[in-house]
Amino acid sequence: MHSPRPAVVARAPGRVNLIGEHTDYNGGLCLPFAIRLATTATVTPRADDQLRMTSTEAASGDTLWQRYVVGVVAELRAAGWTVPGLDIGLASTVPLGGGLSSSAALECAVATAVAGLLGIPLDADTRRLLAGACRRAETDHVGAPTGGMDQLASMLGAEGHALLVDFADPGGPATTPVPLPVTAAGLALLVTDTGVRHSLADGDGGYAQRRRECEAGEPRRLRHVTTENDRVRAAVEAIDDGEWDRLGALMTASHASLRDDFEVSVPQLDLAVETANGAGALGSRMTGGGFGGCTITLVAADRAAVVREAVDAAYAERGWANPVHHLVEPGPGAEVLSTAG
Ligand code: ADP
Ligand code: MG
């Protein structure tokens, strides 16, 4: 009889981007944070070479998601890790395709569990390496032209902190934790999921088109990138100085730029932003790639309920389905939860 094979459980969070959108693939700045919604991966080594996987969230009949997992393992092997065949079980509280990066949470949970299985410590260098491997899993194996912010936030996020990422650094993305004491300031961060779904894996989708337009140097698109980088710098200063009204104004300006110059908003996002601001939020913007997904709103904690009710009412007035709201706060990055046999 052989002893029971060891299983490793790891969790990796989704993320929300406070400010700095469509800047990652343009060598710019962004300021995401890891949220408490997360994906857990349980990995057990197999005697053979195969990868077998199940997910409690996968839609029945959908197998596309398996490419994320296969891609992560392939990239870790390409990086020189000796990864055995695996049974992989996934469960997630991150809404799929909702702009909170369930894809990065999935990739990073698998990668972190494999690191745990191989006994590789999760120091900053390893976290960076895993973020890169997970990004390539998504770009090269799934075909989603994502810029790398999501995986960095999931791997390097820290409790109570946002993560300033500078993609201009020649040594690879430079990351700096930025304390984000919103709760202590009596504020809340409200994510509103419009329910409108995008697909980053769609090569002909708007996201890929925007990337091509940026590469081609289209002035209006690049104006967004330049002004957005300035807003990220100003946002970090505002946070450092505790100037929350200013942070809110920068978020709203970011939304206007994404709507007017970058043209990645949709009416559902615009209405959520306008309604939140009209109901007394400090600021609000679409977050994530756009064409649907979520907004993030900075609001006094005691006004968060008023804001969400106002948005619900505005949607109802248009005959749109109720959006789903999440109060989010900066939580820890990916971690191994257990290595019990
Ligand atoms: P987002 O990352 O914003 O949630 P994406 O379109 O990038 O949106 O990724 C969503 C896709 O990721 C899903 O359609 C699915 O293929 C895959 N996925 C993410 N999490 C899971 C999960 N827990 N189980 C199965 N598939 C998942
Ligand atoms: Mg994604």
For 123-143, the pLDDT digits (tens) are 999 999 999 999 999 999 999
User: CB of 143 closer than 6 A to ligand 1?
Assistant: no
**Digit-coded pLDDT (tens) for 228-244:** 999 999 999 999 999 99
Beta-carbon contacts of 287 under 8 Å, excluding residues fewer than 6 positions away, are 16, 17, 18, 21, 99, 191, 293, 294, 295, 296
Ion ligand 2 — residues with CB < 5 Å: 101, 103
Give the residue among 119, 104, 113, 67 at the shortest CA–CA distance from 86.
Answer: 113
Per-residue pLDDT at 62? 87
With a 6 Å cutoff on the Cβ, whether 40 touches ligand 1 is no
Mutate to test the pocket of ligand 1, among 63, 67, 96, 100 (most ligand atoms within 8 A of CB): 96
CA–CA dist 30, 162 (Å, integer): 10
Whose tokens are 């994320």? That residue is: 68
Q: What is the pLDDT of residue 203?
A: 45
Ligand 1: does its nearest atom lie under 6 Å from the Cβ of 101? yes
* pLDDT tens-digit map of 313-328: 999 999 999 999 999 9
Amino acid at position 258, single letter: L
Please report the pLDDT score of residue 2 as a whole number: 46
Q: Is the pLDDT of residue 291 over 50?
A: yes
Ligand 1: which of 60, 68, 103, 135 to mutate, judged by most atoms within 8 Å of the beta carbon? 103
* Torsion angles phi and psi, residue 175, rounded to 5: -120, 140
Ligand 1 center to 89 CA (angstroms): 15
CA distances from 231 to 114, 172, 227, 280, 338 (A): 37, 22, 6, 21, 40
Q: What is the pLDDT of residues 169-195, one digit of tens each?
A: 888 899 999 999 999 999 999 999 999
Q: Which residue has the higher pLDDT, 200 or 11?
A: 11
194: Cβ below 6 Å to ligand 1? no
CA dihedral 39, 45, 50, 56 (to 10 degrees): -30
Atom from ligand 1 closest to the CA of residue 104: 2
Catalytic position from the list 24, 150, 193, 261: 150
pLDDT of residue 171: 86
- Using alpha carbons, select from 231, 232, 229, 211 the residue that is nearest to residue 221: 211
pLDDT for residue 157: 98
C-alpha 196 – ligand 2 centre gap (Å): 14
Residue 339 pLDDT: 84
Hey, what long-range contacts does 177-183 have (CB within 8 A, 24 or more apart)?
Answer: 178/31, 178/236, 178/239, 178/240, 179/239, 180/18, 180/33, 180/239, 180/330, 182/244, 182/298, 182/329, 183/301, 183/329
Q: What are phi and psi of 15, to 5 degrees?
A: -145, 160
Find where tokens 């925007």 sit: 210
Mean pLDDT of 268-277: 98
Protein residue with least CA distance to atom 2, ligand 1:
101
pTM of the model: 0.94
What's the first-to-final CA gap in the chain, in angstroms? 15
pLDDT computed for residue 60 by the predictor? 83
> With 90 as the cut, is the pLDDT of residue 73 above it?
yes
Average pLDDT, the chain: 94
Residue with the two structure tokens 């990422």: 165
pLDDT in tens, 190-219: 999 999 986 554 545 788 899 999 999 999
Give the model confidence (pLDDT) of 38-66 as tens digits: 999 999 999 999 999 999 999 888 899 99
What DSSP letter does each residue of 264-314 carry, written as one string? Answer: ---HHHHHHHHHHHHTT-SEEEEESSSSSSEEEEEEEGGGHHHHHHHHHHH
Taking every pair of Cα atoms in the chain, the longest distance, rounded to a whole number of angstroms, is 68
Is 150 an active-site residue?
A: yes
Q: Give percent of the chain with pLDDT exceeding 90.
A: 86
CA of 22 to the centre of ligand 1 (A): 19
Q: What is the number of residues in the chain?
A: 341
Q: Is pLDDT above 70 for 340?
A: no
Residue among 134, 85, 125, 78 nearest 106 (CA): 134
The fraction of the chain above a pLDDT of 70, given in percent, is 96
- Is residue 199 classed exposed, middle or buried when 0-12, 13-18 and 19+ CB atoms within 10 A define those classes? middle
**φ, ψ (nearest 5 deg) of residue 328:** -120, 155
